[in-house]
Amino acid sequence: MSPDAMSPDAMSRERYIAADNVCAWPNLTRLDDGTLLAAIYNRPVHGRWHGDVECWASADDGRLWERRSAAAPGEPPGNRMNVAAGRDAAGVCFVIASGWTPVLEPGDSGEEFANQQRTVLPALVCRSEDGGHTWTRAEGVALPDESAPPPIPFGDVVEGDGGLLACTMYSWQDRQNNTCWFYVSDDGGYTWAPRGVIGADDYNETDILHLGEGRWLAACRTVRDAHLQLFRSDDDGATWADAGPLTLPRQHPGHLLRLADGRILLVYGLRNPGLWGVGARLSADGGNTWDSPRLLVDFGNATDGGYPSSAQCADGTIVTAYYANRVPAHDRYHMGVVRWQVEE
């Protein structure tokens, strides 16, 4: 799985600057009518400015995008930027958004809080019943325990068996000690509570995939060397078993998608010296084994980027969104999109 072994496969690709001058960290959701929604952070900086989680939409399978709404407006001087997003079978869309607020000194506006101490804001549960045009917002996320700080949401909101909704959130004690929790909602996504620990002490940003009959996969970012580790649950998220590494160090975070042909697609950020971009792997057996890594997008001269998220269109085309602070032909932060199909 060395980066040197990763070469562009025989795939047809189209690349677009989908939303300019944003750091983004996109999360994609596909609606029943084929519309793609992207939940993004709307400022061109790595999270240290006031900003909002916006909802952007594409009605042409990812080629053109337009801002639809602010799903989770930030509260000045802080921001909303960390999200779990998705939808249920009825089409209700969710953005669960936390963020940061600076601890201000007298006379400090906090407009750019690059150097100030900061604290995590409690997550807002944002719900939309009209495809992301309008949102209701309320606090509804329980703490993992009474002494824990507010957890930080990440990845997809996924519907499991019997209408159960699930996502992941991680605790932020310090940069070297994060625990990832499997959160569930049994009231239509209004309130959320932890059901089980996916990974303790060394795990934060995690995406999940429902395999059916109480079985789940989780691709977890490790804190210390920033690789992806796979976990499995066979009891609807109550307990989890380590299933081994998915990537090398500095290759994170990941997104899991079940394709129409039954295969599982993993996309993930590449942050290795000399190789910044998006990688991909496929599994044809429910995540038991994975094919060789492939290079999906090369960022060239970027020094920040990744966080890919994918959706599949009706014609089989895969749309993968990501962010980068620059690419060879574009010198600003942006959300980029690649449209591609895996050749047999």
Tens-place pLDDT, residues 237-282: 999 999 999 999 999 999 999 999 999 999 999 999 999 999 999 9
Please, are residues 338 and 11 in contact by the beta-carbon 8 Å criterion?
A: no
Top pLDDT among 175 and 38 is at: 38
Instruction: Name residue, tokens 């049994």.
Output: 186
Residue 273 CB burial class (10 angstroms; 0-12, 13-18, ≥19): exposed
Average pLDDT value over all residues in the chain: 93
Instruction: Look at residue 109 in the predicted model and tell me its pLDDT.
Output: 64
pLDDT of 226 above 60: yes
Q: Which of the four CATH numbers 3.90.470.10, 3.80.10.10, 2.60.120.380, 2.120.10.10 does domain 13-341 have?
A: 2.120.10.10
Please, are residues 211 and 228 in contact by the beta-carbon 8 Å criterion?
A: no
Phi (first) and psi of residue 284, to 5 degrees: -105, 5
User: Which residues are CB-neighbours of 25 under 8 A, at least 6 positions away?
Assistant: 40, 41, 81, 83, 307, 323
- Phi-psi map region of 175: left, alpha, beta (phi>0 left; psi -120 to 50 alpha): alpha
Q: Could you please report the per-residue DSSP string of 43-93?
A: SSSSS-B-B-EEEEEESSTTSS-EEEEEEE---TTSB--EEEEEE-TT--E
3-state secondary structure of 162: helix
Instruction: Look at residue 5 in the predicted model and tell me its pLDDT.
Output: 42
Whether cis (ω within 30° of 0) applies to the bond prior to 149 is no
pLDDT band at residue 175 using 50, 70 and 90 as cut-offs: low
- Two structure tokens written together for 319: 């749309």
pLDDT of 331 above 60: yes
Task: Tell me the three-class secondary structure of 56-68, residue by residue.
Answer: EEECCCCCCCEEE
What are 143-158's pLDDT values in tens digits? 998 888 899 999 999 9
Instruction: Look at residue 149 in the predicted model and tell me its pLDDT.
Output: 86
Mean pLDDT of 86-105: 93
